[in-house]
Amino acid sequence: MESDGQKFLKQIGLAKGQVILDFGAGEGHYTIPASKTVGKNGKVYALDKDSGILDQLKRVIKKYGITNIELIHENLKIPLESDLLDAVLCYDVIHYENKKKRIAVYKEIYRVLKKEGLFSVYPKHHKKDYPLDNLANMDLKDIIKEIEQSGFLLKEEIFKTLLHDDYYNDGIILNFRRY
């Protein structure tokens, strides 16, 4: 995701100087390129519930001398102030939670995003994309409806090649805006 990641993130709407959250950051496949995309005047919060994976990401950050990433060990709550973020990436994570918890996550994301902020979702593992866990019976239209009921408006669907775990995968990115 070195150069491909930055190119991808610019195409979905990230820019220099932004403050973003990588929700469910994992190993940092999007966190690291996001840090380069927003630059030294931007900031990336990398949130994950797995402290072990955050420790791995911390070592990578230290190894490369990256200074604009802050790690957050949390599950569903986002310990940031309201109206702070320009964008939230939520890639390949919502299938882990049941509907009640997903709604709670969407409300938290809505709270921390600025007005017209970008909420970019990669809903991997829905009904037509290797069904798994809590999205296995949901179509994209069901996922869109669920997110829009939390106050977001779908602005675009983007078919892209992106990283899934350690390999490239074609998928749909859903870009919402907070209004």
Mean pLDDT value of segment 152-160: 94
**What local confidence, expressed as pLDDT, does residue 2 receive?**
60
| Comparison of pLDDT for 51 and 133, the residue scoring more | 51
**What local confidence, expressed as pLDDT, does residue 1 receive?**
47
Q: What is the pLDDT of residues 45-74, one digit of tens each?
A: 999 999 999 999 999 999 999 999 999 999
pTM: predicted TM-score of the whole model, two decimal places: 0.93
Cα separation, 44 vs 46, whole angstroms:
6
**What local confidence, expressed as pLDDT, does residue 137 receive?**
79
**What local confidence, expressed as pLDDT, does residue 95 receive?**
83
Q: What is the pLDDT of residues 10-29, one digit of tens each?
A: 999 999 999 999 999 999 99
Burial of 159 (0-12, 13-18, 19+ CB in 10 A): exposed
**What local confidence, expressed as pLDDT, does residue 167 receive?**
66
**What local confidence, expressed as pLDDT, does residue 108 receive?**
97
The SS3 call for residue 136 is coil
DSSP string spanning 119-130?
Answer: EEEE-TTSTTSS
Provide, rounded to the nearest whole percent, the portion of the chain with pLDDT above 90.
74
**What local confidence, expressed as pLDDT, does residue 4 receive?**
85
Q: What is the third-level CATH fold of 2-178? A: Rossmann fold (3.40.50)
